[in-house]
Amino acid sequence: MHGNNSHNKNSLLTIVISCYNDADYIEQAVSSALNQTYSNKEIIVIDDGSNAETKAVLKKLESKITELITQENQGQSIARNNGIRKAKGEYILNLDSDDFFEISFCEKAIRKFQENEEIAIVTCNVNRFNTSGSIDIFYPDGGFLNNFLLTNCAMGSAMFKKSDWQAINGYDENMRKGFEDWEFYIRLVKEGRSAYVLPELLFNYRVKENSTSTKANKIKYELLHYIYIKHRELYIAHYDLFISHLLSKTKQQEKEKIKNISQIDFKIGEAILKPLRWIKALLK
C-alpha cells in the first residue's frame, strides 16, 4: 500500500526526550536530537521529577530546545504521554535521556514511513555500550503482531506517528515498572501493520547497572502476566504460536539449569575427589 505522500515530504517531527536524573548524559541525548539531519523538527524534554543536579543541566539546555515540561516523578509512560500530547509533529521519536541516535536516523526513518503506509514503527540496529565502551550490536527483529506477541521486536526509543499514538490512547499509564513500550507496540501493530528495522547501526543504547530495564527484568513475570491478561483476546487468537513459544522458553531454561547443575556437580565431585587422590598418591 503506497500512499501518495508527496504533500508531506517535509512533515514536522517531534523528538520527545523523557529525563529522570540523567545529569551526565542528557546533554548528549539533546545534542543527538538537535544534530539530526532532518531539519523540520521540534524537541520536547520532560523532566520527570529529576534531582537538582539534573535540573541545573536542563536549565542550561532550555534555550536550545522547543519546550521543557517539568512534572513530579510519575514514570516513563506518563512522561512520554505528556510530552507527546504537547507535540505538534506528525512523527514522534521517543528518546531516553541516557541514549543517543546517530544524526541520519530521523531522515531515514521518515523516508521509510513515506514509502510504505503499512509501517507503524521504525527502529534500527543498536550499539549497546557502557562506561568501558561498546558491548555488542543488537539486531531488533521488527515484524508483525505475531512477532510482537512473543517478545518486544523494536527498541523503546523508536519512531511512530502521532495520529497512531492518539488512535490507541498512547502508553498504558498503569505500566510504571517497565515493558510499557512493548505493550504499546503490540497495540500499534495489532491491525496488521508492522515495525521496520533500518539495517544500520543508528542508535546507541547505554547499559546501566540500575536502569529501568534491569529492574523490569527482576519483575519480568509480573509484567508478562499483565501483558498476557490485558491482551487475552490476541493471545487466544494466536494460541498455537503462543504455546509453542512458552514451551520452547521453558525447554531452554531447563537446558540451562541442567548445564549449571552438571557444572556444580563436577565442581563438588572435584572437591571431594581431590583429597582422596592426594591420600592415594601418598600410599603408593
Count Cα atoms within 13 angstroms, Cβ side, for 12: 11
Q: Can you give the pLDDT of all 284 residues of the chain as single tens digits?
A: 444 444 456 899 999 999 999 999 999 999 999 999 999 999 999 999 899 999 999 999 999 999 999 999 998 999 999 999 999 999 999 999 999 999 999 999 999 999 999 999 999 999 999 988 989 999 999 999 999 999 999 999 999 999 999 999 999 999 998 899 999 999 999 999 999 999 999 999 999 876 666 676 778 899 999 999 999 999 999 999 999 999 999 999 899 888 888 887 778 877 777 877 877 777 77
Q: Please report, for the chain, the start and end positions of each structural domain, with discontinuous segments joined by +.
A: 6-237, 241-284
Cα gap 93→95, rounded to integer Å: 6
Q: What angle do CA 208, 227, 46 make, to 5 degrees?
A: 45
Q: How far apart are CA 271 and CA 132, in angstroms?
A: 36
Statement: 6-237 belongs to CATH 3.90.550.10: yes
Global pTM reads: 0.86
Give the three cell numbers for residue 55.
Answer: 535540573
CB burial of 106-137 (b: ≥16 within 10 Å; e: otherwise) equals: bebbbeebbeeeebbbbbbbbbeeeeeeeeee
